[in-house]
A and B are shown apart, each in its own frame.
Chain A
């Protein structure tokens, strides 16, 4: 009779692997920060393995682990370590994972992977089209899609999209684009009178939107964490 209350089984999980030439804590930190800024939500508490194949000198794993902790990442272990490095990693409480056996096919498959990834990452993004006014108290969310409103978004209404938001009427309520964390998304509207505009988590209230574009058509995007208003045409 088998007992299912306790089992130890092998399984495969996707892990992010970090390739970094300079494995000093400071360098890892700056590079990771740049990467995370692009999509903070995507990497939040992601398990990461460091590739140490090309490393000659043993890095300070304890310091790197601190950096990971600070950036809300989970350092699981190292891969491609030499016998010597394995010991250092073990001493720092890290697992050492095996790379695929033959090197060349592994590289090939990695190349393939990036290709398929690119094909998946740039699919025709879906668009949700709403053919009416969005009234006070209503909320529209376009999950993983662009949002097109053929009407006016009233004060007290909210339109949210993981993609871009296009409003052909007046925007008086709140518009939240790039809700999944993509800072490249933008809000386009025919008349800007918004209560709030947010892109990838950064937001601006009505007060900061008043000015040249208030009451006019505009396109709002994020550049270096700053709100940028531009002509629609």
Chain B
């Protein structure tokens, strides 16, 4: 049975799609058959970050409406054999998703895949609710600042009350905290909340901390998930995150300010 993981946050622009792409890719690299679904109907960013925007013919909404089958709509990743993407429609809005339609597609995917990653849109409206409704696990992406933390708290409330697991009285969704855009230097200066602060407020298990990094922007622009940039700190942090998601015990890195050597100070980090 496939595991359905929603990547959500409440707040926009915190790195949901970047994280969905990186984590989905990371799981697929381990040999698990993985599909990433873009639930952000109307905006469609996932295919850009995955670098397959020119290969989109049919989309999620087409499949729900029966205008195409899953095989036609899913895009196979060119780098990793076990990775697929189900893109969002750009011409429709979020109301095009129906609970029955989403359930039917997830059931169909579950027969074939090991992991289904749902990339949630921002907000707490129907699109986001649809993305989290069928989830078994949730990765709550949070930036170390108060409004993002508040919105994550709100989404955590939704996860525990509005999901299928909550409605049917099943064991709750397993919640993970993914802290992105973490900048230890700014934490020391008091300009950002620390890992401890966020952890205390949200009170869920920390899955990973992704440092703020130029590599993330570069990766997005070039259509390569940042996890494939194994040289970069963000790429390594996502690799660690995937390992933890798969149950491995990996120490946290990039939490403290790095001491820069003389050369680094002169030529920049």
Q: CA of A86 to CA of B151 in the docked complex: distance in angstroms?
A: 67
Q: CA of A151 to CA of B200 in the docked complex: distance in angstroms?
A: 12
Q: Is the CB of A137 within 8 A of B203?
A: no
Q: Is the CB of B153 within 8 A of A155?
A: yes
Instruction: Name B's interface SS.
Output: helix
B160 within 8 A of A: yes
Q: Is the CB of A156 within 8 A of B160?
A: no
Give A75-115 as 1s and 0s: 1 = Cβ < 8 Å from B's Cβ atoms.
00000000000000000000000000000000000000000
Q: Is the CB of A136 within 8 A of B157?
A: yes
Q: CA of A155 to CA of B150 in the docked complex: distance in angstroms?
A: 7
Q: Is the CB of B161 within 8 A of A138?
A: yes
A152 within 8 A of B: yes
Give B135-172 as 1s and 0s: 1 = Cβ < 8 Å from A's Cβ atoms.
00000000000000011011011101100000000000
Contact partners of B153 in chain A: CB under 8 A: 135-137, 154-156
Instruction: Name A's interface SS.
Output: loop
Report the minimal beta-carbon distance from B74 to chain A, rounded to whole angstroms: 35
Best-buried of A154, A155, A169, A172 by chain B (most CB within 10 Å): A154
Q: CA of A151 to CA of B153 in the docked complex: distance in angstroms?
A: 14
B263 within 8 A of A: no
Number of interface residues of B (CB under 8 A): 11
Give A164-204 as 1s and 0s: 1 = Cβ < 8 Å from B's Cβ atoms.
00000100100000000000000000000000000000000
Whose C-beta in chain B lies nearest to the C-beta of A169? B203
Contact partners of B161 in chain A: CB under 8 A: 138
Known contacts A152-B203, A154-B201, A137 near B160 by CB under 8 Å: no
Q: CA of A224 to CA of B57 in the docked complex: distance in angstroms?
A: 72
Give A127-144 as 1s and 0s: 1 = Cβ < 8 Å from B's Cβ atoms.
000001111111000000
Q: Is the CB of A136 within 8 A of B150?
A: yes
**A-B interface contact total, Cβ < 8 Å:** 35
Contact partners of A135 in chain B: CB under 8 A: 153-154, 156-158, 160
Q: CA of A136 to CA of B148 in the docked complex: distance in angstroms?
A: 12
CB-CB contacts below 8 Å: B173-205 with A:
201, 203
Report the minimal beta-carbon distance from B111 to chain A, rounded to whole angstroms: 33
Contact partners of B154 in chain A: CB under 8 A: 135-137, 156
Whose C-beta in chain B lies nearest to the C-beta of A155? B150
Best-buried of A135, A151, A169 by chain B (most CB within 10 Å): A135
Known contacts A132-B160, A135-B157, A156 near B150 by CB under 8 Å: yes
Q: Is the CB of A138 within 8 A of B203?
A: no
Contact partners of B151 in chain A: CB under 8 A: 136
Q: CA of A155 to CA of B160 in the docked complex: distance in angstroms?
A: 17
CB-CB contacts below 8 Å: A43-72 with B:
none
Whose C-beta in chain B lies nearest to the C-beta of A134? B157
Contact partners of B201 in chain A: CB under 8 A: 154-155, 172
Give B19-60 as 1s and 0s: 1 = Cβ < 8 Å from A's Cβ atoms.
000000000000000000000000000000000000000000
Q: CA of A172 to CA of B157 in the docked complex: distance in angstroms?
A: 15
Q: Is the CB of A133 within 8 A of B203?
A: yes
Contact partners of B158 in chain A: CB under 8 A: 135, 137
Report the minimal beta-carbon distance from A63 to chain B, rounded to whole angstroms: 55
Can you give 21 contacting A-B residue pairs, CB < 8 Å?
A: A132-B160, A133-B156, A135-B153, A135-B156, A135-B158, A135-B160, A136-B151, A136-B153, A136-B154, A136-B157, A137-B153, A137-B157, A137-B158, A138-B157, A152-B203, A154-B153, A155-B153, A156-B150, A156-B154, A169-B203, A172-B201
Given A133-B156, A135-B158, 10 additional A-B pairs, CB 8 A: A132-B160, A136-B151, A136-B153, A137-B153, A137-B154, A137-B157, A137-B158, A151-B203, A155-B150, A157-B157
Which A-B residue pairs are the 4 nearest by beta carbons? Answer: A135-B157, A136-B153, A136-B154, A138-B157
